């Protein structure tokens, strides 16, 4: 389904898992894309990002705002897929099927908490490796080679958007990993930063995310209304 210059797969959680397993078995490096209002807004002008997103074999949304906008445009999407839930379900699938995940991004402290959480929750899961997201441009190829040597099946990337889309697209072929997925702030969620970080810092982070989300939703509404008016005039 095409929605404001962006293709979206109207699939549920289990169907997404099945598609991901197919991607892993084919061993053709692919990037999963999660669509949010801010990303669709960026895609209206950023043609490079639009190309990266639309060539993905699996594009889902975790936004109720996009569901409402799709209905307004008479192209209703049935459901959104929680990125956190998809992340958790894939960890379960990794343990069940022997897939080896690699974790990339966030701080050392958060990353170690995530790895410890995964080891405790999924004791037979084989973690292929992990690296924080704070590395310089000159160290990028070193990190890429480290990931390549891990021979992982899944790469979970906790970079901000659109940095993660660009980064994965640039190095996907060199990484040699069948499936790469951006997980947003879910490393931080698993690390339980609400309990481990100062309230002031957390509140500032939440305010920034909320403001970003509000502006993203507002701009998406503008794009949606423009598209709706254009369709009515044709």
Task: Give tens-digit pLDDT for 48-93.
Answer: 999 999 999 999 999 888 888 888 888 888 889 999 999 999 999 9
From residue 159, alpha-carbon distances to 138, 156, 219 in Å are 18, 10, 23
For 3, half-sphere exposure in the C-beta direction (CA atoms, 13 angstrom radius) is 30
pLDDT score of 231 more than 80: no
Q: Is the pLDDT of residue 228 over 80?
A: no
**Spatial distance between the Cα atoms of 114 and 111, rounded to a whole number of angstroms:** 5
Average pLDDT, the chain: 85
C-alpha to C-alpha distance for 192 and 65, rounded to whole angstroms: 26
Peptide bond preceding 162 in cis form (omega within 30 of 0): yes
pTM of the model: 0.84
Task: Provide mean pLDDT across the span 93-113.
Answer: 95
User: What is the mean pLDDT of the segment spanning 159-174?
Assistant: 95
Neighbours of 44 (CB within 10 A): 16
Q: Name the nearest CA neighbour of 214 among 61, 71, 65, 50.
A: 65
Contact between 20 and 58 under an 8 Å Cβ cutoff? The reply is yes
């Amino acid at each position: 389904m095409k929605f404001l210059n962006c293709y979206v797969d109207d699939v549920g959680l289990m169907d997404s898992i099945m598609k991901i397993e197919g991607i892993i078995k084919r061993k053709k490096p692919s990037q999963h894309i999660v669509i949010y209002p801010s990303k669709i807004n960026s895609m209206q002008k950023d043609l490079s990002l639009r190309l990266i997103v639309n060539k993905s074999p699996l594009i889902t949304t975790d936004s109720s705002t996009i569901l409402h906008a799709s209905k307004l445009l008479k192209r209703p999407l049935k459901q959104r897929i929680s990125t956190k839930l998809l992340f958790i379900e894939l960890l379960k699938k990794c343990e069940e099927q022997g897939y080896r995940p690699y974790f990339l991004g966030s701080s050392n402290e958060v990353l170690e908490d995530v790895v410890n959480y995964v080891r405790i929750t999924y004791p037979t899961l084989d973690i292929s490796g992990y690296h924080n997201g704070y590395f310089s441009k000159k160290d990028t190829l070193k990190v890429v080679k480290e990931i390549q040597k891990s021979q992982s099946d899944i790469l979970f990337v906790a970079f901000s958007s659109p940095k993660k889309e660009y980064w994965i697209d640039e190095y996907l072929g060199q990484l040699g990993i069948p499936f790469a997925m951006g997980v947003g702030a879910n490393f931080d969620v698993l690390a339980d930063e609400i309990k481990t970080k100062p309230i002031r810092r957390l509140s500032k982070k939440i305010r920034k995310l909320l403001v970003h989300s509000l502006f993203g939703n507002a701009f998406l509404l503008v794009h949606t209304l423009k598209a709706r008016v254009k369709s009515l005039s044709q």
